[in-house]
Amino acid sequence: MKINDVILQTVTKIVTFIILTFAIYLFFAGHHNPGGGFIGGLVISSALILMLLAFDIETVTQTLPINYKVITGLGVLVSLFTGMASFVFHVPFLSQAHLHFYMPIVNEEINIATTIIFEIGVAMAVVGTTMTVIVSISRNKGDEE
Protein backbone atom coordinates (compact mmCIF):
# COMPACT_ATOMS: atom_id res chain seq x y z
CA MET A 1 0.00 0.00 0.00
CA LYS A 2 1.32 3.40 -0.96
CA ILE A 3 1.33 5.62 2.10
CA ASN A 4 0.36 9.24 1.53
CA ASP A 5 2.10 11.65 3.91
CA VAL A 6 1.83 14.89 1.96
CA ILE A 7 0.14 16.67 4.88
CA LEU A 8 2.94 15.78 7.27
CA GLN A 9 5.62 16.87 4.81
CA THR A 10 3.89 20.18 4.02
CA VAL A 11 3.39 20.94 7.71
CA THR A 12 7.02 20.04 8.41
CA LYS A 13 8.32 22.47 5.78
CA ILE A 14 6.65 25.36 7.65
CA VAL A 15 6.86 24.21 11.27
CA THR A 16 10.60 23.53 11.09
CA PHE A 17 11.29 27.23 10.57
CA ILE A 18 8.94 28.19 13.42
CA ILE A 19 10.77 25.79 15.75
CA LEU A 20 14.17 27.09 14.62
CA THR A 21 13.07 30.69 15.24
CA PHE A 22 11.88 29.71 18.71
CA ALA A 23 15.23 27.99 19.30
CA ILE A 24 17.10 31.18 18.43
CA TYR A 25 14.82 33.15 20.77
CA LEU A 26 15.44 30.68 23.61
CA PHE A 27 19.18 30.77 22.92
CA PHE A 28 19.40 34.56 23.30
CA ALA A 29 16.94 34.72 26.22
CA GLY A 30 19.34 32.69 28.30
CA HIS A 31 21.14 35.53 30.03
CA HIS A 32 18.44 36.71 32.43
CA ASN A 33 15.45 34.49 31.60
CA PRO A 34 14.87 30.75 31.18
CA GLY A 35 16.76 29.59 28.14
CA GLY A 36 20.33 29.25 27.03
CA GLY A 37 22.52 27.02 24.95
CA PHE A 38 21.36 23.67 26.27
CA ILE A 39 17.64 24.16 25.74
CA GLY A 40 18.30 26.01 22.48
CA GLY A 41 20.28 23.05 21.21
CA LEU A 42 17.54 20.66 22.27
CA VAL A 43 14.91 22.66 20.38
CA ILE A 44 17.14 22.83 17.28
CA SER A 45 17.57 19.07 17.40
CA SER A 46 13.81 18.61 17.81
CA ALA A 47 13.35 20.54 14.55
CA LEU A 48 15.88 18.24 12.88
CA ILE A 49 14.09 15.20 14.34
CA LEU A 50 10.80 16.46 12.89
CA MET A 51 12.51 16.66 9.49
CA LEU A 52 13.80 13.11 9.94
CA LEU A 53 10.28 11.94 10.84
CA ALA A 54 8.61 13.53 7.83
CA PHE A 55 11.29 12.63 5.31
CA ASP A 56 14.09 10.10 5.72
CA ILE A 57 17.72 9.98 6.74
CA GLU A 58 19.00 10.01 3.15
CA THR A 59 17.07 13.15 2.15
CA VAL A 60 17.99 15.02 5.32
CA THR A 61 21.70 14.18 5.02
CA GLN A 62 21.61 15.33 1.40
CA THR A 63 19.99 18.61 2.43
CA LEU A 64 22.15 19.17 5.52
CA PRO A 65 25.48 17.40 4.92
CA ILE A 66 26.63 17.72 8.52
CA ASN A 67 28.70 15.19 10.41
CA TYR A 68 27.17 15.46 13.88
CA LYS A 69 30.13 13.80 15.61
CA VAL A 70 32.40 16.60 14.35
CA ILE A 71 29.83 19.16 15.57
CA THR A 72 29.93 17.61 19.04
CA GLY A 73 33.71 17.77 19.25
CA LEU A 74 33.84 21.31 17.89
CA GLY A 75 31.25 22.47 20.43
CA VAL A 76 33.14 21.03 23.38
CA LEU A 77 36.37 22.59 22.05
CA VAL A 78 34.70 26.02 21.67
CA SER A 79 33.40 25.86 25.24
CA LEU A 80 36.79 24.75 26.55
CA PHE A 81 38.69 27.51 24.76
CA THR A 82 36.23 30.16 25.98
CA GLY A 83 36.99 29.00 29.49
CA MET A 84 40.72 28.95 28.84
CA ALA A 85 40.70 32.45 27.27
CA SER A 86 40.31 33.84 30.78
CA PHE A 87 43.88 32.64 31.57
CA VAL A 88 45.22 35.33 29.20
CA PHE A 89 43.73 38.03 31.45
CA HIS A 90 44.94 36.39 34.70
CA VAL A 91 41.45 35.63 36.02
CA PRO A 92 40.03 32.25 37.12
CA PHE A 93 38.82 29.63 34.66
CA LEU A 94 35.49 30.41 32.92
CA SER A 95 35.43 34.06 34.01
CA GLN A 96 33.20 36.06 31.70
CA ALA A 97 33.30 39.67 30.57
CA HIS A 98 30.35 41.66 29.34
CA LEU A 99 29.76 44.75 27.31
CA HIS A 100 26.97 47.17 28.04
CA PHE A 101 26.08 49.74 25.43
CA TYR A 102 23.26 51.81 24.04
CA MET A 103 21.80 50.94 20.63
CA PRO A 104 20.67 54.15 18.91
CA ILE A 105 18.31 52.82 16.23
CA VAL A 106 16.21 50.36 18.24
CA ASN A 107 16.52 52.65 21.30
CA GLU A 108 17.47 49.92 23.77
CA GLU A 109 20.23 49.03 26.17
CA ILE A 110 22.12 45.99 24.90
CA ASN A 111 24.11 43.70 27.19
CA ILE A 112 26.46 41.29 25.44
CA ALA A 113 28.51 38.84 27.47
CA THR A 114 31.24 36.46 26.33
CA THR A 115 29.03 33.76 27.81
CA ILE A 116 27.30 33.75 24.41
CA ILE A 117 30.35 32.05 22.82
CA PHE A 118 30.35 29.46 25.59
CA GLU A 119 26.64 28.90 24.98
CA ILE A 120 27.25 28.43 21.24
CA GLY A 121 29.66 25.64 22.15
CA VAL A 122 27.12 24.06 24.51
CA ALA A 123 24.40 24.23 21.85
CA MET A 124 26.67 22.63 19.24
CA ALA A 125 27.58 19.83 21.66
CA VAL A 126 23.92 19.19 22.52
CA VAL A 127 22.77 19.16 18.88
CA GLY A 128 25.63 16.88 17.89
CA THR A 129 25.06 14.40 20.71
CA THR A 130 21.28 14.25 20.28
CA MET A 131 21.37 13.84 16.52
CA THR A 132 24.15 11.22 16.71
CA VAL A 133 22.10 9.18 19.16
CA ILE A 134 18.84 9.52 17.19
CA VAL A 135 20.40 8.69 13.82
CA SER A 136 22.34 5.75 15.29
CA ILE A 137 19.40 4.09 17.02
CA SER A 138 17.07 4.62 14.07
CA ARG A 139 19.35 3.00 11.53
CA ASN A 140 18.22 -0.38 10.27
CA LYS A 141 20.23 -3.46 11.00
CA GLY A 142 21.66 -4.17 7.56
CA ASP A 143 22.36 -0.59 6.55
CA GLU A 144 25.77 0.78 5.73
CA GLU A 145 27.29 3.42 7.98
Partner 1 sequence: MFAIAMAVSLVFLSVSILVGLYRIIIGPSMPDRVIALDAIGINLIAMVAVLSVTFRTSAYLEIILLMGIIAFIGTVAFSKYIERGIIIESRRGD
Residues contributing to the site for partner 1 (CB under 8 A): 3, 8, 15, 19, 22, 26, 29, 33-35, 39, 43, 46, 49-50, 52-59, 134-135, 138-140, 143
User: Phi, psi at residue 103, to the nearest 5°?
Assistant: -95, 115
Residue 76 Cβ, how far from partner 1 at the closest point, in Å? 25
Which sign does the torsion angle of CA 32, 38, 40, 46 carry?
negative
DSSP state letter for 97: -
DSSP state letter for 33: S
Residue 27 Cβ, how far from partner 1 at the closest point, in Å? 12
On the CB side of 24, CA atoms within 13 Å amount to: 5
The residue (of 59 and 111) whose beta carbon lies closer to partner 1 is 59
The residue (of 95 and 136) whose beta carbon lies closer to partner 1 is 136
The residue (of 25 and 87) whose beta carbon lies closer to partner 1 is 25
Residue 40 Cβ, how far from partner 1 at the closest point, in Å? 11
Residue 91 Cβ, how far from partner 1 at the closest point, in Å? 32
How many whole angstroms separate alpha carbon 104 and alpha carbon 110?
Answer: 10
The residue (of 57 and 80) whose beta carbon lies closer to partner 1 is 57
Which residues have CB under 8 Å from 36's CB, separation 6+?
Answer: 26, 27, 29, 30, 119, 122
